[in-house]
Amino acid sequence: DADVTQTPRNRITKTGKRIMLECSQTKGHDRMYWYRQDPGLGLQLIYYSFDVKDINKGEISDGYSVSRQAQAKFSLSLESAIPNQTALYFCATSDLLGTGVLYFGPGTRLTVL
Amino acid sequence: AQRVTQPEKLLSVFKGAPVELKCNYSYSGSPELFWYVQYSRQRLQLLLRHISRESIKGFTADLNKGETSFHLKKPFAQEEDSAMYYCALEGEAGGTSYGKLTFGQGTILTVHP
C-alpha cells in the first residue's frame, strides 16, 4: 500500500551513530506505530501514537525515541545505535475505527556495524 | 501480560494438502484475534480477523476460547499461499492493550508443487 512510506529503505551505520527512520502516511489515520522484526521473535512494538499529542512506549522502547511531527509523520530515532538494533523496522497506521487493522509500510532494513 | 505463540517456525506441505498454522494466546479477557500475511516482496497485510467470521483466499480461523487458540486452516493449499504468517492479538476496549497488536513469532509456510 503506497499510502504508507518509509525512508530510508536500507541503511548501514556504525555503532554509536544517531540515526532517524521516517514514516509518512497519506491515509489520514490518527494511529501510528513502529515495530521491529527479528527472525524468530516476530514483530515487537517499539512505540505508538494515537494522535499528535499522544506518544506511548511499546514492549522494547529502550534505546529508541520517537517524534510525531504531524498527523502524517512519525519518526523513530536511535540515539546511539548498537549492533543488536540490526533489524527490519516497520511503520504502520490504523484508522481509529478499524480496530486491529494495521496498514504497514514497506520496512527499513537497518544494519549497525 | 498477553502473549501470542506460534509453535511452528517453518511449515512445509504439498500443493493440494490441508494446512493448519497454529496460534495460541494468553490473555485474561476477550481479545480480538487476527492473522496477517507477508508474501514475498510484498507488505505485511491483514489476512483475516476472527470477528468477521469470513473466509479469505480459502483460509478460515476459529477462535477457541477454551483452548485459547486461533489456528489458521485451509483444506487445499496452493503454491501462492507460500508466505510468512503472523497471528496477532488486540486487547479489549478499555484495557491497556487496546489499540495495539501483539504479534506471534511468525510461521513460514512453504507449499511445494
> Tens of pLDDT along A33-76?
999 999 888 999 999 999 999 999 999 999 999 999 999 999 99
Separation between Cα atoms, residue A33 and residue A6, nearest integer Å: 12
3-class SS string, chain A: CCCEEEECCEEEECCCCCEEEEEEECCCCCEEEEEEEECCCEEEEEEEEEECCEEEECCCCCCEEEEEEECCEEEEEECCCCHHHCEEEEEEEECCCCCCCCEECCCEEEEEC
Best A3, A66, A101 residue to mutate vs chain B (most B CBs within 10 Å): A101
User: How many angstroms separate the CA of residue A85 from the nearest CA in chain B?
Assistant: 18
pLDDT of residue B91: 83
Residue A54 corresponds to which cell in the numbers above?
A: 499522544
With a cut of 80, say whether residue B93 has pLDDT above it: no
Predicted local confidence at residue A97, as pLDDT: 60
pLDDT of res. A1: 52
Q: What is the mean pLDDT of residues A87-107?
A: 88
Q: What is the helix (H) or strand (E) element at residue A48, kind and residue range?
A: strand A42-51
Q: Is the pLDDT of residue B96 over 80?
A: no
What would the mean pLDDT of B64-88 be, rounded to a whole number?
96
Look at A48 and B6 and tell me if their CB atoms are within 8 Å: no
* Contact with chain A for residue B102, Cβ under 8 A: yes
Q: What residues of chain A lie within 8 A of the CB of B9, using their CB?
A: 40
Confidence of residue A2 (pLDDT cuts 50, 70, 90): low
Average pLDDT of chain A is 93
Q: Look at A90 and B44 and tell me if their CB atoms are within 8 Å.
A: yes
Across the interface, of B6, B45, B90, the residue whose CB is closest to A100 is B90
Tell me: pLDDT of B54 over 90.
Answer: no
Q: Give the chain B residue whose CA is nearest to the CA of A43.
A: B103
Q: Which of A66-80, B9-23, B94-108 has the lowest mean pLDDT?
A: B94-108
Closest residue to B105, CB basis, from A33, A42, A50: A42
- Of B100 and B11, the structure prediction assigns the larger pLDDT to B11
Asked if pLDDT for residue A112 goes beyond 70, the answer is yes
- Model pLDDT, residue B1: 77
pLDDT for B50: 87
Partner A contacted by B52 (CB < 8 A) = no
Mutate to test the interface with B, among A9, A25, A60, A99 (most CBs of B within 10 A): A99
pLDDT band at B95 (very low <50, low <70, confident <90, very high): confident
